[in-house]
Structure formats: C-alpha cells, structure tokens
Amino acid sequence: MVVILPLSIALGLLVYQQRVRGGVTLRTILFSTYMAPMIAVALVWSKLYSPIEGPINEMLGWVGLPPGRWLSSPDTALGSIVILNVWQQVGYFTVLAVAGLTQIPPSLHEAARLDGAGPLQRFFYVTLPLLRRTLLFSAVIAVINAVQVFEPVALITQGGPVGATNVLTYHIRRVGIERSQGGLGSAMAVTLMLALIVAIVALFALARRGWEDAA
C-alpha cells in the first residue's frame, strides 16, 4: 500500500493530463496487468529474475553492475515478490485514481491558480482532499490484497529461500494442509481475518477524523 498508492496517483495524474496522447491506450495497458492470469505473470517474472539468462541481470551487466540473486537470496527474495505484486496491481489503482480525478471540477483548480497557488499547492490543497474517498477505497483494497498475497509465493518461491517469502497466507496453507494441522490453520486464518477487520476499521476511523478536521 505504501508503494502502490503514491505510484498510482502519479500515474493517474499522468494519464489524466489532457496533453498526454494515447491516454486511453495507456490506461488499457496499465489495467491489463491486473487482468493477466497470475500463472502467466509468475512465469514471466521468474524468467525476468533468472540469475543466468534473465533480462534484468543482463541489463545490469550492460552498465557494469553485478548480477543479482533476486529469488535465491533471502535478502532480495521478498522485495522481488513485492515488485511483482506492485507491477500487477498498480494499473487497477491507477484507473481508480483517474476515476477520482475526473470527479474534481476543473473550476476549482482554475480558481486556486488565479489565487496564486502553484502546482504543488493545488495538488496538496485541492486534488488530494477531493480524492480522499477514492484514496480510502484504494487503501482498503490494497490492504486486503496485501494480506491475500499467495499465488506468487506458491508458484515461484514456495516460501523460500530460508523462509524469506513465507507470507502469512502461504504459511497458513502449509500448516493447515501440508502439515495436516487443520485446527491450528483455521485458528490462524480466523486471527488473520480479525486483524484485517481491525485494520480496515482503523482506516475508516482515520479517514473520518481527517474529514472532520478538514471540515
């Protein structure tokens, strides 16, 4: 969520600007990453991260940098999965950001500009406050998606190396199915669900407090 939301807002502003040509095409390309089947995404990214013939290491070699052990090192495996997850989901949140931007009357930005507000001031005092409902919805979905990360780990790393990518959902599956500890796995799943509910309630409470302060 910390990476996806700012990135989606930046891309949303880029797509929304009328001077950007092919905005509809760019929006379609971004959203298509979210619609791609996870099996295909995992297969492509496992090839990209390949330490021997992967394009990422090849490009690093072009600039004289050493190759990375992206999925085989405990230091970089989880970050590599995060990058994959961000790449797949950022298009969906960008579309949400564009939808929120289209609901902001252009007259408000024009009035702020006439009052002497610069681009950054208009962004922080006009755009962001009017995007708060879109941002709240995006934050809730991002939290839910973060908790549900399972397929990339199951398809690429299987929780390794050395448990570096053993995320909660994958660990619950291992406990409940592979270790045949159904009771413990169920208890962990219920606890995770309750923690998710608390996190979502906290997001709504923070958003409501922010709206009251703004009012």
Contacts of residue 15, Cβ cutoff 8 Å, sequence gap at least 6: 23, 26, 27, 30, 94, 98
Low-confidence ranges of the chain (pLDDT < 70): 1, 18-23, 210-215
| pLDDT tens digits along 64-94 | 888 899 999 999 999 999 999 999 999 999 9
Whether the CB-CB separation of 139 and 203 falls below 8 Å is answered with: yes
Whether the CB-CB separation of 111 and 44 falls below 8 Å is answered with: no
So what's the pLDDT on residue 33? 86
Of 74, 69, 38, nearest to 162 (Cα)? 74
Calculate Rg over the CA atoms of the chain: 21
Yes or no: is domain 4-214 CATH 1.10.3720.10? yes
Contacts of residue 31, Cβ cutoff 8 Å, sequence gap at least 6: 91, 92, 94, 95
CA distance 210 to 135: 12
Whether the CB-CB separation of 68 and 75 falls below 8 Å is answered with: no
So what's the pLDDT on residue 210? 67
Of 138, 158, 155, nearest to 89 (Cα)? 138
So what's the pLDDT on residue 181? 92
